[in-house]
Structure 1
């Protein structure tokens, strides 16, 4: 698709520029994490990308390591004040621009979720992987983590069918507003979102 090629050029140009501009911020965040949480500074995890192919997502670390003796097991227990601040400002996402530059992700698209979710999607929901995952997306500007899983995945597939450069620009503009308002960072009772266990349509 011609639009996809144009989007890839935009992804590389914007991600490369942002990596340069935000380098001092990322250096400062890295120092804070190293001092308060220790190393590693970066969080790496396998996520499904285009057509479900795994890639290594890179973000800033926001949680302590699992420590059963200290009761640091759940995400809520392991989350730190620094981590909450980084997530609220989405600063933990800055290293993800490297994934965009590499071609693992796009600036806009369905967010990359967890590998074990692949077996839980309905055929309709699985279509979210027909495009590259994004740093931001339609679901993120339509309620973020306050959305139900059904609504979130439905928005992902709607985006796949209606994506365009114009839509991507509107999503980027709305993303800036969402970041300023800092809404929808976490679902009630969760650090981010509760685990996806499958849709009723899939018998989950």
Structure 2
């Protein structure tokens, strides 16, 4: 483990990612399918759709296709591991999903990546059920995480957590409707490595 990995700085975004509809206006002023139908959703503004290379307004970041608000300040993590958990008590199959900065996902369909894996996949539900995803030596960037009601027979209340250490734990109470494939709110966790400090061993420029 390098000193770089042990000096993570983590920002947590508790904002709900509300997905906007899109459309575009023709010459008559009517709205077609490519323009935002929500007033005020100008490019780069909060909750506006974005692509990874797009620039959001100051204080916003493009995550899971939307410009979302960053919180004030950061929390320093003394760990080089991220842990995401989903807890519920019901006879339903829920799935935990984490999208990595490079676009890869860790979930029941893709349980393992180069440095992350789904520790446990619960398909039967029950009492005090937990799914967990661990990522070691996490790369810098934005991690998006959410839950999916895979079974869909019952409305479910659950707890969704993302954290790097106990001091940077971020917990949300979520609800999923009784629809197979329905998703919870999406949340983001941003990992930033601080600049490395110069030492006496560094060459003189």
TM-score range, shorter chain: under 0.3
Q: Which has the higher contact order (CA 8 A, sep 6+)?
A: 2
Which has more radius of gyration? 2
Taking structure 1 as the reference length, the TM-score comes to 0.26
Q: Which has the higher strand share?
A: 2
